[in-house]
Amino acid sequence: MATRTVEVGSSVGLHARPASLFVEAAQATGLAIEIGRPDADLIDAASILGVMALGVKHGEPVRLVAEGDGADAALDSLVELLERDLDAEA
């Protein structure tokens, strides 16, 4: 099992556009990926409603977990995505 912790770089946190881009990228990996706060239960990263319901704000850490072939590379790419201010890139 691969795991990563990253601080969310988007100025609006994981809401609206940044959440949508993250969920699309998570789905594109073809792996079961989970996301959540470091000290809380994880949810399916492919669920836009679940990701938005986390209420993660700018600068807050999230934990990503994945299993399967390519899990490390998939999480590395998702970490790079989450570190950027996706809302500013519109």
Average pLDDT of the chain is 96
- Residue-wise pLDDT tens digits, 30-52: 999 999 999 999 999 999 999 99
Q: What per-residue confidence (pLDDT) applies to 90?
A: 63
- DSSP letter at 11 equals T
Whether 89 is covered by a domain: the verdict is no
Whether 53 is covered by a domain: the verdict is yes
Secondary structure of 32-77 in HEC code, one letter for each residue: CEEEECCCCCCEECCCHHHHHHCCCCCCCEEEEEECCCCHHHHHHH
CA distance 90 to 76: 22
Whether 25 is covered by a domain: the verdict is yes
CATH number of the structural domain spanning residue 78 = 3.30.1340.10
Given a cut of 90, whether residue 89 has pLDDT beyond it is: no
Residue 17 · residue 41 · CB < 8 Å: no
User: Which one of the listed residues 6, 15, 29, 51 is annotated catalytic?
Assistant: 15
Q: What per-residue confidence (pLDDT) applies to 49?
A: 97
Q: What percent of the chain has pLDDT over 90?
A: 93
Report, in angstroms and rounded to the nearest whole number, the Rg of the chain calculated over CA atoms: 11
Active site residue 15: yes
In the chain, how many domains are there?
1
Whether 65 is covered by a domain: the verdict is yes
Q: What per-residue confidence (pLDDT) applies to 87?
A: 84
Which pair of tokens denotes residue 47?
């669920």
